[in-house]
Structures are given as structure tokens and as C-alpha cells.
Amino acid sequence: MLLAILRATLFLPWCLALPVPPTTDLKGWEFVKDYFHRFFMTKKDSPLLTQGEQLRFLQQFFRLNVTGLLDKQTLAVLHQPRCGVPDVASYSVFPESLKWNEHILTYRIINYPYGLKRSTVKGIVRAAVSIWSSVTPLVFEEVENQDANIRMSFWTLDHGDGLPFDGPGGVLGHAFLPYSTRPGVIHFDKDEYWSSSYKGVNLFLVATHELGHALGLYHSGNPNSIMYPTYEYQDPLTFHLSLEDIQRIQDLYGRK
């Protein structure tokens, strides 16, 4: 069923803009193939999809010119730092029905990244949870030294959950949906240069994204959504959720 859904998307109308000149870099094609199998469908689940179909699907998901040509624009998008949660859930036949059944949620910061004070991290996380509570009835309470609904921590490389990190510049973090195998768990790659500004990777933006997953949201193909899988800096002081983000989270938890 999932393979049929992915194949069906390949016959939707394509953008008619002229493509960026293609590259014949074999390493580039290998990267695309590995990217597709890592974030969309495993080799076992997609034995019949051709290389061109995989590339067109990626181009459509990221709202690029769907040409089937491996151009520089496509490679640039696929090389951006991103969330490690697979994107294929956006095309799942199952509705976004996983959510917390309570409106008061506790959260805990288990450990901290290099280079940021504990007080700074706490303030960043407090701002991130307020983004979601500002448009829903959700109330977030920080706890110390006890279990919590949402648990945030920083790890390097293989850290025991089957989703190893890859060092600076690759996967920034990942999270588990409510009532999944590790409900509410959020992991950040400790090897990233985390910051509260435009330098390195802004922790507020990534934390807001991963909190979206922990609350029950999958990725969005809308570049204006905080749930878009790749990272792009925005000023935290002027940041706001897109209309799509608000609609999706309110579909789960209702309005403020």
C-alpha cells in the first residue's frame, strides 16, 4: 500500500520551470539513493522504485522542479542539516491520531550541550514549549530528577535507540511521537555547535521542531512550516508558527 502511494505521487502535475543543469556525479546519485532509503523507504520496502522515481519523489516532497535530473539545486537541499525523523510518515495511510490524552505535560532536560549555560538552555526550551502552548490548551511544566512526559537530552553518534547521529552538519535531532516505542523522547546531536543566535545551529528552532514531533506532528512538505524537515535559520525574536502548523496542532489538541 505504501509503495503504491509513493508511486501515485510520481504522476501528479510537475512544475514546468526549466531545471538547473544536471550533474553526472556518481557519488551524488549514491547520496540520493542513501537519502531516500534513510528518510523515506528502506531498500526492502521499495525494490521496484527506479532511481529516477526516487529522485522525482524527493524533488516533489521538497517542492523543487520535478525533473528526474540530479541538479545542483536538488543536491543542495538534500545536503542541508535536518531532522532525523523519517519523512515517509507524511504520506502514511494512517491519520495523525497519536497525541497525549492530557493537557498538562511535564518536560525534563536530562543533560546539556557544550557551550551553552544551563540557564540559557532552560530559557530556550521554555520559549519553545510556549510556542505550542500559545495556540493550544496545552500547559507545560518543567520538572527535575523525575520522570516526565517529554524528556530532552544531548547525545553523540550511536546512543542506543537505533538512530545514530553523524557528527556536525548532518542530522540535528530526532523525536518520538506520543504512544510510540519511546513516547515524548527528544534527542539532539551533542556534536553540533548549538547556539541562541544565527551562529551554528539555533537550539530554539530545532527544539520547537522536535517538540512538534513529541506532540504528535509528522513532517510537512511546506517550507514555511516549522515541521519542514530541513533546517534554516530564522530570528527567534520574530518567529511564529505558520497557519499550517497552527491548524495541524489544533486538529490534535483544540484551540487555546
> 96, 192, 210, 244: which is the annotated catalytic residue?
210
Q: Which residues, 6+ apart, have CB-to-CB distance to 212 below 8 Å?
A: 132, 226, 227, 245, 249
Strand 171-175 relative to strand 82-83: parallel, antiparallel, unpaired?
Answer: parallel
Query: Which residue, 133, 170, 142, 156, is CA-closest to 256?
Result: 133
Q: For residues 198 and 77, what is the distance between their CA atoms, to the nearest angstrom?
A: 19
Number of H helices, E strands in the chain: 7, 8
210: annotated active-site residue: yes
Q: Which residues, 6+ apart, have CB-to-CB distance to 25 below 8 Å?
A: 70
DSSP 41-87: --TTT-TT--HHHHHHHHHHHTT----S--BHHHHHHHTS-EE-S-S
Give me 190's grid cell.
551533542
Cβ atoms < 10 Å from Cβ of 37 = 16
Q: For residues 5 and 211, what is the distance between their CA atoms, to the nearest angstrom?
A: 28
Residues taking part in catalysis = 210
